[in-house]
A and B are shown apart, each in its own frame.
Chain A
Amino acid sequence: MASTLAHGSDGTVAIGANYEAQLNTWSATLTRATSVVTGFGDTGHRRRASAVLDLTGSAGGFSKYGDSSHDPTGIAAGSATATGMVLTVATGCTFTFDAVINSTAFSVTQDGDSTVTFNFEMDDADGPTVAWAEA
């Protein structure tokens, strides 16, 4: 496959069972804690990165109604149990991991939109499984 630029429309997100919203955006940040290990005589900072990877992010869109399955607070049956998530950049390019939904933010404006945002934090001992389509 030739080198191809990904567009936002190539993406999607799956947040496990029992959620319903019309999503059109997700974001995720992979982070490692770092420590400054600069010593005497160094003229520039030296750092070491942790081996433990973290992943946090959010997925957002519009609330839906008209069906009992459209309850956006029903993720993982409303429990604190981690839910399987798949963040897709494009077909074959995914981050798959378990995560907890630590907050669900609603916003409703009388002359605007009715939006919902799910904020998640990874709960996966071996980190995300990353797949990236390559030739």
Chain B
Amino acid sequence: MSAQIMKAIYARLIANVGDTGTNPLKDAVSNRIYAIDAPARTELPLVVYSLDSLDTEHFFGGVKRQTGSFTVSVYAKAEFGADSIVDMDELAFSHLDQSAVTVVNHDRGYIRNLTRGVPELDGEVFRADSTFEIVAAITS
């Protein structure tokens, strides 16, 4: 089930916003959105997301509800300044918070923000980690 949740998160991260035909987050990082880890020497800025936990809640009749927690990390060069990382974290928040996504074999996935990213300087890189929650009930 975690694969279906992961795919749903990725699909949302790369999806265009409404009918605008654009995705400001994806455009800001030039499509560099990766699961778990980015390839070595990938150009910055970029986004990495990872599923931290996936809890199952059981209901009578065999129905199950999944609640996943995932982290979206935004990386940018320190030389661009803290503003750039804050701006991209804002794009991630706006793109994901309170959004409904399609999850295979689930009724839907509903994503909401849990914690906002705070810029951290890691060598020559600025990094901001935001955590989100995705909730979906298994239908088959």
CB < 8 Å neighbour of A111 from B57, B63, B112, B137: B112
Question: Is the CB–CB distance between A11 and B60 below 8 Å?
Answer: yes
How many interface contacts (CB-CB < 8 Å) are there between A and B? 20
Q: Which residues of A contact B63 (CB under 8 A)?
A: 22
Question: Is the CB–CB distance between B61 and A9 below 8 Å?
Answer: no
Taken together as a complex, chains A and B put the C-alpha atoms of A13 and B61 apart, in Å, by 9
Q: Which residues of A contact B65 (CB under 8 A)?
A: 22, 62
Taken together as a complex, chains A and B put the C-alpha atoms of A12 and B58 apart, in Å, by 11
Residue of A nearest to B60 (CB): A12
Taken together as a complex, chains A and B put the C-alpha atoms of A93 and B87 apart, in Å, by 59
Binding site for A on B (CB under 8 A): 57-61, 63, 65, 112, 137
Question: Is the CB–CB distance between A24 and B59 below 8 Å?
Answer: yes
Does A90 touch B at the CB level, under 8 Å? no
Q: Which residues of A contact B137 (CB under 8 A)?
A: 22
Residue of A nearest to B137 (CB): A22
Question: Is the CB–CB distance between B59 and A61 below 8 Å?
Answer: yes
Residue of B nearest to A66 (CB): B107
Please list 15 pairs of residues, one from A and one from B, whose beta carbons are closer than 8 Å in the complex, sorted by A's number.
Answer: A9-B58, A12-B61, A13-B60, A22-B63, A22-B65, A22-B137, A23-B59, A23-B60, A24-B57, A24-B58, A24-B60, A61-B59, A61-B60, A62-B59, A62-B65
Taken together as a complex, chains A and B put the C-alpha atoms of A61 and B57 apart, in Å, by 11
Q: Which residues of B contact A12 (CB under 8 A)?
A: 60-61
Residue of B nearest to A14 (CB): B60
Taken together as a complex, chains A and B put the C-alpha atoms of A88 and B128 apart, in Å, by 49
Cβ of A118 to closest chain B Cβ, rounded Å: 13
Q: Which residues of A contact B59 (CB under 8 A)?
A: 22-24, 61-62
- Can you name 7 extra interface pairs (CB under 8 A) apart from A61-B60, A62-B59, A62-B65? A9-B58, A12-B60, A12-B61, A22-B137, A24-B58, A24-B59, A24-B60
